[in-house]
Amino acid sequence: MKLNPIFLKDEITSARRLTLPALLTGVNGGLSILILMNLFYIAKSAKATGEIAYAGFLRIYYIAAVAEILLILIITPALTASSISAERERKTLDLLLTTQLDPWDIVVGKLMGTMGTLLLLVVTSIPILATVYIYGGITFVQIAIFFGFLICSALFCASVGIMVSSFISATTAATAVAYVIIFLSYFFMLGGFLFRESLEIQGGRLLAVVLAFMIAISIFMLYLSKRHITPHKRRKLREG
Amino acid sequence: MITLDNVKKTYGHVNALDGLTMHIEDGAMYGFVGPNGAGKSTAIQMMCGLEFPDEGIVMVDDMEAGSNVRRLKKRIGYVPDDTGSYPNLRIIEYMNFFADCYDGQETKTKRRIQMLLNMVGLQERQNQFMDSLNRGGQQKLSLARALIHDPKILILDEPTEGLDINTRFEFRQIIANLADSGKTIVISSHVLNEISELCTDIGIIDQGKMVMEGKIEDVLDQVNASNPIIISIAGNMSSALQTLRSDKQVRSVSIRNKDLLISYSGTEKDESNLLKKLVEGGVPVRGFHREKGNLESLFLQLTGAREERRVTYYEAESDFSEG
């Protein structure tokens, strides 16, 4: 089976830049420092009190999890907001559209490239988060749910970035709009989780709904991107 | 075969195309000429399926342009005025990438890429990065890219714009060879000499409308017919002027150096009769020929310089009457 040429091309060009290794080092380095600091704090308080606070290990998990989600939210728009607009600025989008590639292939190729980078980040951070698993306090299911949410977040943020990039030609403006959309979406999502009790919705059920919604809206945003880059007939305005 | 039928396109309040009709035969080398903003690029983008008309229809080989038919996309190769490059890709990677964008056998494609790079003189540089190429190199690579799927129709939008004379010449040779191989080539250019040397057919567009279209020889013949007859006379012109004044088909006479330029509406036979009359009237005629037309003068006539030309004539005529 032929791999998506856009994905292949983007992988070649991104492998030549320092962005990916710098990103991996920065993100995993940051997470490691965060966890080591927390372990240091637990060890220090154990020395002082003679008690090991196992709840502290769980705190590491929460801190690392939130940090990783925040990193995804911050990194993804920067990675995707130029995906289509850069092709337009370089005047290569028209060339791609005259080939036998379907506009879907272009959008999916861009998504695959970004998801590849984000999944690499997620996968390489597994050993760091797994340190919590050694001490106990969280179950395998919880880790799986967390990674599920992380992957859905990556898909959602990447889709927002690609959609904005296909609608807005200027990369800087596209990046700014993508950040606004993503942070507003997560603000309302967080609100939903905080007020779930007053809304009388079960946490697990709410999460399932949120994940399903994220996937559905991502597909819809990718469809809008495809539709926008496809040359199309202008609709005639009704006379009168 | 490419056909545009009464195509209209507006961008806001600007009429880019205003009922453009054109017809490009299979195997033709079609020169598409027009001043800046005449609508050439819009028409070309429509042929490539990158724009759609508001009204009218664009057909390429009996398929509507832009209908996203894979078969149609395989038939068209497009070289835009701005080549579009990926600076981080090597030349060979760029070619491989675009080859992957089409259906095709890998081994066959690899051979074709080498053949094309050889054709444009970039085979030796295939491992260099694209940003090491100058404008001429980029344009040649763009041409090789457009031919990667062996299209039947090649559409070039001002391909030699900004190229030095040597590269322009090389580029022209490559295009001429491609035309010999039977491809239909549409080339838009401001360089009218280039068009007249390369093309078999021509279309002149102005303000979104086709103002003249046809075989290049026919178009030039038309230009010739509207050009003045130049009569060179050895000695006094007064007897010649008298004879010319008496001929009803002489519309105006002007003097340029030692030659008489006459605007003449007669046929070729009338022209020979006029010459006979002059010679029989004792006028020492050294030369008698119609000024050869060129695309530049035709282009100027058709796209707005007509008024200027008339003024020149009146000035010449008044000089003549005063003398």
Orientation of helix A140-167 relative to helix A171-194, angle to 10°: 140
Which residues of chain A neighbour B145 with C-beta distances below 8 Å? 95
Give me the amino acid identity at A59: R
The residue assigned the tokens 């609709």 is: A235
Q: Cα separation of A213 and B156, whole Å?
A: 46
Q: What is the pLDDT of residue A238?
A: 47
Q: Where are the domains of chain B?
A: 2-215, 222-322
Q: Are strands B229-233 and B250-256 parallel, antiparallel or unpaired?
A: unpaired
**CATH-assigned architecture of domain B222-322:** 2-Layer Sandwich (3.30)
Helix (H) / strand (E) containing B184: strand B184-188
Contact by Cβ (8 Å): A231, B51: yes
Q: What is the pLDDT of residue A1?
A: 67
- For residue B152, how many other CB atoms are within 10 A of its CB? 15
> Hey, what CATH class is B2-215 in?
alpha beta
Å from A222 to nearest chain B CA? Answer: 19
Long-range contacts of A43-48 (CB under 8 A, 24+ apart): none
Please tell me which of the candidates B76, B80, B85 has its beta carbon nearest to residue A94: B80
Q: Is A127 helix (H, G, I), strand (E, B) or coil?
A: helix
Pairing of strands B184-188, B250-256: unpaired
Instruction: Look at B73 and A231 and tell me if their CB atoms are within 8 Å.
Output: no
Which chain B residues are within 8 Å of A83, Cβ to Cβ?
Answer: none
Question: If you average pLDDT over every residue of chain B, what do you get?
Answer: 85
Nearest to A80 by CA among A3, A6, A2, A175: A175
Tell which residue, B50, B74, B42, B51, has the closest CA to residue B61: B74
Residue B128, number of CB atoms within 10 A of its CB: 14
The neighbour count for residue A186, using CB atoms within 10 Å, is: 16
The rounded distance, in Å, linking the Cα atoms of B267 and B243 is 18
Query: In this predicted structure, what is the pLDDT of residue B70?
Result: 79
Residues of A in contact with B88 (CB under 8 A): 12-13, 16-17
- Report the residue from B73, B85, B89 with minimal CB separation from A98: B73
pLDDT at position A234:
62
Could you give the CA distance from residue B157 to residue B278 in angstroms, rounded to a whole number? Answer: 50
Angle subtended by helix axes A171-194 and A54-80, to nearest 10: 150
Please give the pLDDT value at position B84.
84
Best B9, B51, B86, B96 member to test A by mutation, with max A CBs in 10 Å, is B86
- Are B78 and A98 an interchain contact pair (Cβ–Cβ within 8 Å)? yes
**CB crowding B187-226: b at 16 or more within 10 Å, else e:** bbbebbebbbebbebbbbbbbbbbbbbeebeebbeebeee
Tens of each residue's pLDDT in chain A, 240 residues: 678 999 999 999 988 888 888 988 988 898 888 888 888 888 888 888 887 777 777 777 788 888 888 888 999 998 898 899 999 988 899 999 999 999 999 999 999 999 998 888 888 888 887 777 777 667 788 888 888 888 999 999 999 999 999 999 888 899 999 999 999 998 888 887 777 777 666 767 778 888 999 999 999 999 999 999 998 776 555 443
Instruction: Give CA–CA dist A174/A86, Å, rounded.
Output: 11
CA gap A103, A225 in Å, rounded: 9
Under 8 Å between Cβ of B233 and B284: yes
How do the domains of chain A map onto residue ranges? 18-229
Residue A5, number of CB atoms within 10 A of its CB: 21
Three-point CA angle B64, B70, B71, nearest 5°? 75
Residue B313: the pLDDT is 40
pLDDT of residue B304: 61
Q: Nearest to residue B299, comparing CAs of B198, B142, B189, B154? A: B189
Instruction: Write the secondary structure of B240-306 as one string of H (helix), E (strand) and C (coil).
Output: HHHHHHHCCCEEEEEEECCEEEEEECCCHHHHHHHHHHHHHCCCCEEEEEECCCCHHHHHHHHCCCH
Q: What is the ipTM of this complex?
A: 0.85
Which segments in chain B show pLDDT lower than 50?
A: 306-323
* pTM of the predicted protein model: 0.81
The confidence score (pLDDT) of residue B34 equals 86
Selection from A20, A162, A170 nearest residue A81 by Cα:
A162
